Amino acid sequence: MVLRPALVEALPLLRGALDGMIEDREGLRLHIIEADNGLDIALSGGLKPGFETQVRLAQTAEAAGWARLTHDERPVAVREQPWLGLGQASVPLPQRAFLQPSEDGQAILQTLVLAAIPDEVGLVLDLYSGHSTFALPLAERGHRVAAYEGAAPAISALEAAAREAGFSGLTATTRDLNAWPVSGAALRDAGAVVIDPPRAGAKAQCEALAQDGPSTIVAVSCNPSTFARDARILRDGGYDL
């Protein structure tokens, strides 16, 4: 019920193209994104090797007009680089990019996050930035932004989008924030922090924020239990929720 029509329409085409081709007892994994210029489909798992499999998949992708189809990181059919618009910026999507579940949900989150950060704040840190759900909109509003994310392909996509949009005040760094959280002077120099960790939360990073964080922290979470733990760390450090 929550899938966009283009995703639903792709399923029978994929079933037909893959009929008799799956050799993995665990089945085949599909990661499908509706980019702004078509579907980006990444397959992973055992497929029958050989020319027939590749041709059948490529012909299906071409007939359907999909932007990109890959199997185990290798291209099968690429019409064009999938991309996603974020305000003035266009993000070239890496394979199996992590997106918000829906465009509407993403817009709501962006509105709430930006509303929580005062206009006069100069530097904003975007921690666990992904490919930039928040960093690019913040840069477009005029803030200087330092984005940190553990996935190198997401940082590469963010940097490419920032360059194309002319956001010279945005920097992006690949960094495992669970093992190496941003701390000390890097936090004290910021006017605000946005943090949007994965389901495991951000215990180490929140401990650093509780000690040296700026006056405003905007937290986004998909897991109430780890958010409650992290919020308690910040409360114990003197923040009000």
| Of 202, 60, 211, 219, residue with least CA distance to 134 | 219
Note the pLDDT of residue 3.
Answer: 86
- The residue among 65 and 24 whose pLDDT is bigger is 65
pTM (two decimals): 0.92
pLDDT at 1 over 80: no
- Phi and psi dihedrals of 100, rounded to 5? -65, 155
pLDDT band of residue 2 (cuts 50, 70, 90) is confident
Angle between helices 5-18 and 51-64 (to 10 degrees): 160
Tens of pLDDT, residue by residue over 186-199, are: 999 999 999 999 99
- The residue among 82 and 102 whose pLDDT is bigger is 82
Tens of pLDDT, residue by residue over 61-98, are: 999 999 999 999 999 999 999 999 999 999 999 999 99
Q: Are strands 123-127 and 192-195 parallel, antiparallel or unpaired?
A: parallel
To the nearest whole number, what is the mean pLDDT of the chain? Answer: 96
Q: Which residues are catalytic?
A: 222
Question: Under a CB-based contact definition with an 8 Å cutoff, are residues 164 and 89 in contact?
Answer: yes
